[in-house]
Amino acid sequence: MSKYMYESYFGETEKVLMKIRKTQQENILKAAELVSECIKNDGLVRTFGTGHSHILAEEIFFRAGTLAPVSAILEPSLMTYREAMKSSAMERLEGFGKIIVDYVNPGPQDVFIIISNSGRNPVPIEVAMEAKKRGNKVVAVTSKTYSKSAPSRHSSGKRLMDVADVVLDNCGEIGDVAVKISGLEQGLGPTSTIASAYLLHAVMVQATSNLSKIMKEPPIFWSANLPGGMEKNRKIIDKYWGKIRNW
């Protein structure tokens, strides 16, 4: 056994990823089907997360090596890059989710991917509910174990996983910690970002594979740092320029 605690973190994270591979195949395929149908019908994949989950909303947005028709909903008051304490309070504010979806005004063919590790705060739940009311499909990325460990903060009593059409379980533990150090009460070593990104890219790869069977050139971004990369992207950017507000 290694004397270094980081090796424990590596080992526990690898276990989480392996658990995802063993348990989430069916859900990945279902989510990928929703994404590929959305893009085939000229819709947008709308990603949303609050707090650190907004990192994952950006993970597949405007990104080389993944599908281009992704519009990240990046509400500044719900991010931790500034005024983090306020953002924690804002994600518990009922009514805000409806405002966000009303402003986004999704088309009927759009799909929402909503990320919330605990799945219990009102704004992500409400965004999912409002999307469903409009007829949009919703994919949730969450930790089922964590989510089941505490009651919802939404007045409906529902968690994000109760609302979504497809649930991708990031297989994380309660509190999003993987390692315990002797003598310390608080665990450490979050896995949710790594595991959720793993799931999201798996979905996008499979969705692209689905699209490749019916489209000559699925809309995939190239790296702008490769020679000719930006020139290849320009055609895609021009197509979606009026639809994706934050390019």
Per DSSP, what are the bridge partners of residue 141? 115, 168
**Which helix (H) or strand (E) element contains residue 54?**
helix 54-59
Q: Is the dihedral of CA 29, 232, 247, 192 positive or negative?
A: positive
Task: Look at residues 95, 56, 107, 51 and name the one whose alpha carbon lies nearest to residue 75.
Answer: 51
Among 72, 118, 117, 122, smallest CA distance to 95 is for 122
Rounded mean pLDDT, 121-142: 98
pLDDT digits (tens, 9 = 90+) for 186-196: 999 999 999 99
CA 123 centroid distance within chain: 14
Q: Which CATH architecture has domain 5-240?
A: 3-Layer(aba) Sandwich (3.40)
SS3 at position 180: coil
Say whether pLDDT at 171 is over 90: yes
**Measuring CA to CA, which residue among 59, 175, 45 is closest to residue 106?**
45
* Distance from C-alpha of 233 to C-alpha of 217, rounded to nearest angstrom: 12
How much is the mean pLDDT over the chain? 96
The residues near 24 (Cβ < 8 Å, ≥ 6 apart) are 168, 169, 171, 199
107's tokens: 């088309």
* Nearest CA among 174, 198, 200, 178 for reference residue 187: 178
Cβ–Cβ < 8 Å for 179, 187: yes
Secondary structure letter of residue 154 according to DSSP = S
Whether residue 176 contacts residue 192, with contact meaning beta carbons closer than 8 Å, is answered with yes
pLDDT tens string 68-102: 999 999 999 999 988 999 999 999 999 999 999 99
Q: Is residue 171 within 8 Å of 33, Cβ to Cβ?
A: no
8 A C-beta contact, residue 148 and residue 81: no
H helix or E strand, kind and range, residue 168 = strand 166-169
| H or E element that contains 34 | helix 25-40
The whole-angstrom separation of Cα 2 and Cα 100 is 48
Span 56-77, pLDDT tens digits:
999 999 999 999 999 999 999 9
**What's the rounded mean pLDDT across residues 213-238?**
95
Distance of CA 167 to the CA centre of its chain: 11
Contact 149, 178 (CB under 8 A): no
| pLDDT band at residue 2 under the 50/70/90 scheme | low
pLDDT at 1: 54
